[in-house]
């Protein structure tokens, strides 16, 4: 099954790759690696805001991380000229969780992205990862994730 078919089976339509909001690019291709800039938690209604450990439950944080993963796939699709089958593997995710100082479930939040990537990419979606806390994130979003993909 193709990556696009898996996305379709999950009811996911990738949006256009989000445009940068400052002085950077959405992705950089170097050799066979695509480095994708941090993608913030957002959906069709705008940024998904809040702080884990205060006003956002872990499940909602994981859903926000999943939205970051969808944006990451949109970026890598743009980097591959629209062909997701060029993905060899997801190498690494780095997840930032807007959270209170005593919040310790960052891995559970970033699992929302990790689980989605494995669901969509299969074994190509198994990756190295970091899940860290941040006192605040751009626009007050709940989650931001960057990634490195290997492409053909």
CA distance linking residue 140 with residue 137, whole number of Å: 5
If you ran DSSP here, which 8-state letter would residue 121 be given? H
Q: Which two tokens stand for residue 76?
A: 């890598």
Q: Where are the beta strands (DSSP E) in the chain?
A: 27-30, 33-40, 42-43, 46-47, 87-98, 128-134, 143-151
Please, what is the angle between helix 106-121 and helix 58-79, to 10°?
40
pTM higher than 0.85: yes
Please state, in angstroms and rounded to a whole number, the distance separating the CA atoms of residues 104 and 99.
9
Tens-of-pLDDT digits for all 152 residues of the chain?
A: 999 999 999 999 999 998 888 999 999 999 999 999 999 999 999 999 999 999 999 999 999 999 999 999 999 999 999 999 999 999 999 999 999 999 999 999 999 999 999 999 999 999 999 999 999 999 999 999 999 999 99
C-alpha 82: how far from chain center: 18
For the chain, domains (ranges, CATH) are 29-151 (3.30.1330.40)
Beta sheet of 87-98, edge-to-edge order: 27-30, 33-40, 143-151, 87-98, 128-134
């Amino acid at each position: 099954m193709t990556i696009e078919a898996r996305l379709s089976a999950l009811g996911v339509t990738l949006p256009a790759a989000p445009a940068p909001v400052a002085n950077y690019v959405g992705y950089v291709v170097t050799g066979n690696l695509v480095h994708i800039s941090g993608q913030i938690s957002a959906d069709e209604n705008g940024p998904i805001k809040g702080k884990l450990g205060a006003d956002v439950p872990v499940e909602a944080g994981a859903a926000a991380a999943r939205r970051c993963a969808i944006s990451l796939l949109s970026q890598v699709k743009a980097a591959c000229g629209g062909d997701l089958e060029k993905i060899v593997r997801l190498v690494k995710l780095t997840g930032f969780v807007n959270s209170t100082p005593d919040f310790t479930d960052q891995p559970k939040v970033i699992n929302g992205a990790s689980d989605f990537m494995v669901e969509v990419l299969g074994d190509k979606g198994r990756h190295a990862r970091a899940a860290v806390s941040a006192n605040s994130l751009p626009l007050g979003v709940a989650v931001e994730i960057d990634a490195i993909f290997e492409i053909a």
